[in-house]
Chains A and B, each alone.
Chain A
């Protein structure tokens, strides 16, 4: 244990990360990023998120092979959990389990970029301010984009509304049609339960300029960083097959069509979330429901 700690403190995090994930480092080392991605910052924080991914949330991933190793694609998922840990878990899956590891560029809300200190961290770990221009630029760069069309409404959902997806903002469909980029729906189970939110104090949130102000088991009661500790819920993430929207570019302006397609993706994700919920045996164990076996009649 002592040697592990001393190694963590003395070794260069990038060198440690490169030993474990050489192809990822090779892919991004020495490349300038217009949005401020920093491989060394990512390597510094990766062990914490890998611990959450492998040991704490014990994330089960299904369908990782559906994400292409190269070229632009748009991941679209259900958002939950107050902090965007769902995005971090998918990033970890892409880093550690994909045959051709690559980064995910999440389009993050403006609010993150107004917070001094945090805004640099958000940018350096790969997130990009959500805007049409930035999304187009990322597609031009052939990046893997992550979008949560529920936005901050999704993460600020109270516990009683868990796993009920809110209406998807159709911007991601417009983007996919306009650029001919495939959409990859992602269903996540577990995120809604890591920080059970009892009430969202909307008026107070508006007063202090936050997207929401949750009352949870730990926030705002416990001191920093105790309120950040999530419940050790087991997660399941299902990555669906890519959807290629074969429509002419002009169809991106057809509001009715765009809304209809956004709803279809939303229902597909909701359906899978419902199935995963039904098959889940327990909140804190990753086991599926065990089929009852008839007792052996031979004895």
Chain B
């Protein structure tokens, strides 16, 4: 009985872990999408590189 409880507990933990990693992945995808959209329609690749250059030189 004790073993059974432990196994059940373990599986819950792994499901939670998967859920967190899934959420993390979808958040990363969302952020990447936003980054590409903002980069493309905002400063553009050259504008972005210029900004990075400015920051690095400082």
Contacts and interface: CB of A to CB of B under 8 A. Distances in A.
A220 interface: yes
Contacts of A219: 40, 44
A220 B33 contact: no
Nearest to B49: A221
Interface string A208-252: 110001000001111110110000000000000000000000000
Nearest to B39: A220
Contacts of B47: 222-223
Contacts of A8: none
B45 interface: yes
B41 to A, nearest CB: 6
B37 interface: yes
A204 B47 CA distance: 20
B53 interface: no
Contacts of B56: none
A115 to B, nearest CB: 10
B30 to A, nearest CB: 11
A222 B33 CA distance: 19
A226 B47 CA distance: 11
A219 B41 CA distance: 8
B38 to A, nearest CB: 10
A83 to B, nearest CB: 13
Contacts of B41: 220, 224
Interface residues of A, number: 13
Contact of A221 (B33, B37, B42, B45): B45
Most chain B C-beta atoms within 10 Å of own C-beta, residue among A207, A209, A221? A221
A12 B45 CA distance: 38
A227 B43 CA distance: 10
B54 to A, nearest CB: 14
A279 B41 CA distance: 37
Contact of B44 (A208, A209, A213, A224): A224
Contacts of A221: 44-46
A223 B33 contact: no
A207 B39 CA distance: 15
Contacts of A204: 36
Contacts of A226: 44
Interface string B22-43: 0000000000010011011111
B36 A223 contact: no
Nearest to A210: B37
A227 B36 contact: no
18 contacts: A204-B36, A207-B36, A208-B37, A209-B33, A219-B44, A220-B39, A220-B40, A220-B41, A220-B45, A221-B45, A222-B46, A223-B43, A223-B44, A224-B41, A224-B42, A224-B44, A226-B44, A227-B44
Given A208-B33, A222-B47, 8 more contacts: A208-B36, A209-B33, A220-B40, A221-B45, A223-B42, A223-B47, A224-B41, A224-B43
Interface of B: 33, 36-37, 39-47
Interface of A: 204, 207-209, 213, 219-224, 226-227
List the 5 closest pairs (A to B, CB-CB), nearest first. Answer: A223-B47, A220-B40, A223-B44, A223-B43, A222-B44
